[in-house]
Amino acid sequence: MLPTENPNSSPLFDSLEFNESHLDSIISSLVTFPDSPSLSISSSFDRVLDHLLSSGDVSVQDQLVDRTLEHFSLLLQSTKRCSQKRATLHNSISWFLHSELTVKVFSMVDTKSLMQASACCTMFNNCAMDPLCYSHIDLTKAFKHVDDRVLRTLLNRSGKQLRNVLLEPILELLARNCCLIEHLFLDNCSQGVITYPTIEFFVTNCLKITSLTLLNFRLNDAMAQILVTGFRILKYINLSNTAGITGSFLRDLGHRPNDSPLETLILRDCFSLQEREVVDFLNSLIAGNVRSIRYIDVSSNNGLACDGDGRTSIPNFPSEKLKEERSDITFVADFPSIGPSTRIICSSSLMEDYMSMW
């Protein structure tokens, strides 16, 4: 029989009259009710709901609909949870590795593969949440899908286990997602190749950069020139440990009008940096160009490249003239490992200020 009571007063809707066992019994009867061709559960649901919604005012009917949707939504969610528990139990029994070994395996794959594995089942997801899995975050296969939210999540999961992060091409990633960045420090430990389109895209999109440090990047002079001239408000640049730079990009910088805001230029341990390029740049400073520059460092444990394949630790710098004409510049050239060192400091107080600043 179909119920004739008002749905708002029916005992089915008065939760206060039910104890836990009674409620469990009703739900058990519902979920274990057999289905057969002669009795369609779906048709029964339709008949009962149509009857209940045919009486009462609109507000009561709305409450009935909302309550029914909520209850069966809870039933659906509970069914999914139980199904996941069963699958997890099955996987834990059939999976041949202990959880510790599974975590060890997961720690050896790239991060994209780790995320795919964690979505397979609850057991894999639990293993993939171990911080050890994120000691080496490798997003080189998924950088186009990485934003600051994803990266922040991965870093939080890594905890104190993080050892390195691979985000190649890192400059393109930053240009796409961090265009408002002002200060950037990167050490390209993976030694990835940087292309001209990547450099140009980076300069075009990150217009607010004032401080830039790129260590161990595979840059050449043309790329360095794009960086130095492309960022209109760049005050600090450090391209140390860049083996491909000879210093020819300094020619353009040294002969630019005095509208450059660059104050600090650091080219430490640039193996191919040539003595004559540095000398020409210093002469342009003596002539009054690049009035904004305050600090220059061309120190190297390997000295500077000179004519032919030679190297020198005692370059022929116009140091005295630089002191006379540009006493506001701190120039550091320290070459300790291959012979007597040359160290020229026009203003020690300025050097201390800049070293503490950056």
Same-domain pairing of 319 and 335: yes
Q: How confident is the model at residue 163 (pLDDT cuts 50, 70, 90)?
A: confident
The residue type at 259: D
Q: How confident is the model at residue 353 (pLDDT cuts 50, 70, 90)?
A: very low
Distinct helix (H) and strand (E) counts, the chain: 14, 10
Same-domain pairing of 265 and 199: yes
Same-domain pairing of 132 and 277: no
The residue type at 233: I
| Structural domain includes residue 5 | no
Q: What is the pLDDT of residues 187-246, one digit of tens each?
A: 765 555 688 998 999 999 999 999 999 988 889 999 999 999 999 999 999 999 998 999
| Structural domain includes residue 38 | no
Which pair of structure tokens corresponds to residue 288? 């009054």
Same-domain pairing of 220 and 343: yes
Same-domain pairing of 68 and 110: no
| Structural domain includes residue 127 | yes
Same-domain pairing of 182 and 240: yes
Q: What percent of the chain has pLDDT over 70?
A: 81
Q: What is the mean pLDDT of residues 155-171?
A: 72
* CATH code for position 335: 3.80.10.10
Q: What is the pLDDT of residues 80-136, one digit of tens each?
A: 888 878 877 777 777 888 889 999 999 888 888 888 888 888 888 889 999 998 888
Q: What DSSP element (H or E) covers 174?
A: helix 170-177
| Structural domain includes residue 37 | no
The pLDDT value given to residue 115: 87
Q: Are 328 and 347 in contact (CB under 8 A)?
A: yes
b/e sequence 14-30, b meaning 16+ C-beta within 10 Å: eeeeeeeeeeeeeeeee
| Structural domain includes residue 227 | yes
Beta strands in 69-203 (DSSP E): 136-138, 164-166, 183-187
Same-domain pairing of 157 and 145: yes
Q: Which of the two residues, 15 and 308, has the higher pLDDT score?
A: 308
Same-domain pairing of 181 and 267: yes
| Structural domain includes residue 131 | yes
Same-domain pairing of 318 and 224: yes
Same-domain pairing of 162 and 174: no
Integer Cα distance of 277 and 213 in angstroms: 21
**164-169 long-range contacts, CB within 8 A, separation 24+:** 164/136, 164/137, 164/189, 165/136, 165/137, 165/139, 166/136, 166/137, 166/138, 166/139, 166/140, 166/190, 167/139, 167/140, 167/143, 168/140, 168/143, 168/192, 169/143, 169/194, 169/195, 169/198
Q: Which domain holds residue 21?
A: 11-27+44-94
Same-domain pairing of 114 and 124: yes
| Structural domain includes residue 4 | no
| Structural domain includes residue 250 | yes
Helix orientation angle between 170-177 and 196-205, rounded to the nearest 10 degrees? 30
Examine the fold and report which residue of 58, 79, 94 is the final residue of a domain before the chain moves on. 94
**Number of structural domains the chain divides into:** 3
Examine the fold and report which residue of 60, 94, 128 is the final residue of a domain before the chain moves on. 94
Same-domain pairing of 174 and 278: yes
331, burial (CB in 10 Å: exposed 0-12, middle 13-18, buried 19+): buried
The pLDDT value given to residue 88: 73
The pLDDT value given to residue 279: 95
Integer Cα distance of 241 and 246 in angstroms: 12
Examine the fold and report which residue of 94, 110, 134 is the final residue of a domain before the chain moves on. 94
